[in-house]
Amino acid sequence: MRRPVARNLTVLAVSAAVVVSVGAAAPPTAQRTGGEKTPLAVGYGGAVSSVDRDASAAGIEVLRKGGNAVDAAVATAAALGVTEPYSAGVGGGGYFVYYDAKSRTVRTIDGRERAPLTADKNLFVENGKPVPFAQAVSSGLSVGTPGTPATWQTALDKWGSKPLASVLKPAERLARDGFTVDETFRSQTASNETRFRYFPDTAELFLPGGRLPVVGSTFKNPDLARTYAELARKGVGALYRGDIGRDIVDTVNKPPVDPASGWNARPGDLSERDLAAYRAKPQTPTRSSYRGLGVYSMAPSSSGGTTVGEALNILERTDLSKASQAQYLHRYIEASRIAFADRGRWVGDPAFEDVPTKELLSQRFADSRECLIKDDAVLKSPLAPGDPRDPERCASGGTAAPTTYEGDSTTHLTVADKWGNVVAYTLTIEQTGGSGITVPGRGFLLNNELTDFSFTPANPAVHDPNLPGPGKRPRSSISPTIVLDRHDRPVVALGSPGGATIITTVLQTLVGFLDRGLPLVDAIAAPRASQRNAAQTELEPGLYDNAGLRKQLEAIGHSFKLNPEIGAATGVQRLPGGKWLAAAETVRRGGGSAMVVRPVR
């Protein structure tokens, strides 16, 4: 239990005592059968939570057949490539965080896409000016070397118990037999219809008969089924050194655009050498301490672990458990603003940039930044970064680095198994619909991840760590996170899609669960705020429409704008006695799907 603590948002004092059952769940609903999704499931034998019922079921199928969390995570991810093709798939990348129950350690894989080896800082510059963003997205120029298949194979080789061919079977079957179209799939198709028609192969696949898919109809992808079958037979070498890879290269360098569309699908410069040189990168996770718990996530090239960790460090000295709603939101918003200011200046691909990861996550640096926060005023944005290598208390000078735009076409899955292993895995193709370019005959869309780079420096006088380079990984906000107790046992694991809002979604969900005492499913469902070092903070309707709360916050200087939907999280929580709780969205993206192997009421 937490010890009683004096509440004072100026006097920074908190209790460090937290038990494993932090955020204990309300009585769970029974897991429903049939085609319905349920956002909450409790039981034994392992758990899977994703945005999609068929994908969660694929993971559960693997767990029931004796697979572990890594096997089930790959199976779930492959199924999401079928049912969530605008968010993830063979043509994308992602970040994989794994907790090993035997050694009680956390390990990660950076499966981020890379720029071609011929790329330089002027990748998105034409005639001395940056290419318009919307034009860059739907082009071969935006496509990075895919990392997802390499991530799957690397995870299975290191920690899995089943071969790739085995865990791909549910997804191959799902692609061949089809899934039921829901309103989310139809609406995402509709929002991409114009640019999908630029590319005949994309239009043929996702606009069957030249029309939007009908809700309730069955959507089949036989080309993707064949691609999965080929990966199962030949391994991921079929993509990185084989026929699938050659098809990707041809598509990127000569985008198959409809000449009648008039669209300038700028060619890329991807080569077979780029594919052959690609490696998913095992690396040490970030670690920060919060309320006596260990918070583990992705180190750069993702900014997720450093930015969530820094914000938690800033909040460490404020007791949020009994703060008013307005006080809690004010502190959370300001901590996010500061962490994003530092992210923009310091985080890039560490193979190219000197990223001070350890210093960004130091409590000393967080304390030097936390003192900027006032209870009765709001920091001005864009806020200048601090220097984690030489922290100066309450420093506010310097030049701000704006947050680059990141698309929200991403999906997250969380898995646990009966042995206590846990996976938090976020994968992506960047925009909803990625580049819009389908590889002919292969059934999957290519990413547009290279648009996550800064096209040009925001300020030529200040170094930008996120400019393109040969083989460089663009900065990401992906933040799959696993929280451990003092005995290095899992408390909770979670993550979210949403571009740069991933960071704030994960941060707010953690604070809601760990500090505000919300059950995990309620912490995920709670209305969100997202501040990313901008003049205005984005609010979902549940907060924006609360006139009294907004008035309190606006009175001290906050400014808000409406965002209809921020993120779409999933998570798992360890309960006593080998029991797991899986939680997903109740409404966002049509709701998520939480499942366990053996449910209990």
Q: What are phi and psi of 408, to 5 degrees?
A: -105, 10
Which residues are paired to 587 by β-bridges?
none
In one-letter notation, the amino acid at residue 195 is R
CB 330 within 8 A of CB 553: yes
Collect all residues with Cβ–Cβ distance below 8 Å to 455 and sequence separation of at least 6: 124, 125, 130, 131, 133, 136
The token duo for 119 is: 């790329």
CB 374 within 8 A of CB 542: no
The token duo for 403 is: 């947050």
In one-letter notation, the amino acid at residue 593 is S
C-alpha to C-alpha distance for 552 and 535, rounded to whole angstroms: 18
Collect all residues with Cβ–Cβ distance below 8 Å to 120 and sequence separation of at least 6: 468, 469, 470
The token duo for 106 is: 């956390």
Report long-range pairs for 330-334 (Cβ below 8 Å, ≥24 apart): 330/375, 330/378, 330/553, 330/556, 330/558, 331/9, 331/373, 332/507, 332/508, 332/511, 332/529, 333/529, 333/531, 333/537, 333/558, 334/372, 334/373, 334/378, 334/379, 334/531
Buried b (16+ CB within 10 A) or exposed e, 351-380: ebbebbbebbbbeebbbbbbebbeeeebbe
Enzyme catalytic residues: 410
What does DSSP assign to residue 458? Answer: S
Indicate the burial class of 548 (C-beta count within 10 angstroms; 0-12, 13-18, 19 or more): exposed
Cα dihedral sign, 488-492-497-502: negative
The token duo for 264 is: 């300038």
Q: Helices in 163-213 by DSSP H: which ranges?
A: 164-167, 169-177, 183-196, 200-206
Helix or strand holding residue 358 (H, E): helix 357-360
